[in-house]
Amino acid sequence: MSAERKVRLGVIGSGKGSNFVAIAQACREGNLSAEVAVVLSDVAEAGILKHAAGFGLAARFIDPGKFRTKLDESAEAAYVAALREARVDLVVLAGFMRILKGTFLAAFPGRVINIHPALLPSFPGLASWKQALDHGVKMTGCTVHWVDQGIDTGRIIAQQAVPIVEGDTAETVHERIQQVERVLYPQTIGELIRKGAVKASAA
């Protein structure tokens, strides 16, 4: 009997890569029935690329082009080509700090997810942990959601609450959220695969 092909993940991030590490570890340890096919970043020095190299995974910086908050047209085409070349079944945004537009999403319909450090629809956008702290909310958290063309507006897949406690700073809140993210993200990807919402392509 031939082994079933694993779901291939394409992980994209701009930062230190702690979510990526949690996902790659879960794959390696067999807790997540998937494999990381490629890691891409818009930041040449990003920790995520160094971690990917440490795991022996294919990792590439792709220049995002001239804009600050999105990919320019040729960059977007390069990201799509790299993900297709790696035969990615699911695109996993892990701290990717740019908005993806229609052409990218049309290349991977219903196959792009993101993790956001707040309980959406509260606090979309940047530094959400700081937005939550500044508002004085007692409970924030993190959200895994499908990506659409809006800013953190796609359909919610999973959420977990994280308390804000007396004496918290933006840093302590973000760290507490990130500890939860590192469990929630691999777990949620696993559930999507188990439920058949994400499948390995036949190729």
Q: Which residues of the chain form contacts with ligand GAR (CB under 6 A)?
A: 13, 15-19, 48, 94-95, 115-117, 178, 181
CB of 126 to ligand GAR, least distance (A): 7
CB 23 within 8 A of CB 36: yes
C-alpha distances in Å from residue 57, one per residue of 67, 98, 159: 28, 23, 29
Cα torsion 115, 185, 113, 126 to 10°: value is: 10
Cβ proximity to ligand GAR: between 13 and 186 the closer is 13
Residue nearest to ligand GAR (CB): 95
Radius of gyration of the chain (CA): 16
CB of 68 to ligand GAR, least distance (A): 14
Whether 135 sits among the annotated catalytic residues: the reply is no
Cβ proximity to ligand GAR: between 31 and 74 the closer is 31
Of 116, 135, 145, 174, the active-site residue reads 116
CB of 202 to ligand GAR, least distance (A): 31
Query: How far is 201 from 31, CA to CA, in rounded Å?
Result: 21
CB of 1 to ligand GAR, least distance (A): 37
Cβ proximity to ligand GAR: between 178 and 188 the closer is 178
Cβ proximity to ligand GAR: between 124 and 200 the closer is 124
- Edge-to-edge strand ranges of the sheet holding 7-12: 59-61, 34-41, 7-12, 90-93, 112-116, 139-146, 156-163
CA 124 to chain CA centroid, nearest Å = 15
Cβ proximity to ligand GAR: between 25 and 200 the closer is 25
Query: How far is 117 from 123, CA to CA, in rounded Å?
Result: 9
Using DSSP bridges, classify how beta strands 139-146 and 156-163 pair: parallel, antiparallel or unpaired.
antiparallel
CB of 56 to ligand GAR, least distance (A): 19
Query: How far is 29 from 23, CA to CA, in rounded Å?
Result: 10
Catalytic positions, written as ranges: 116
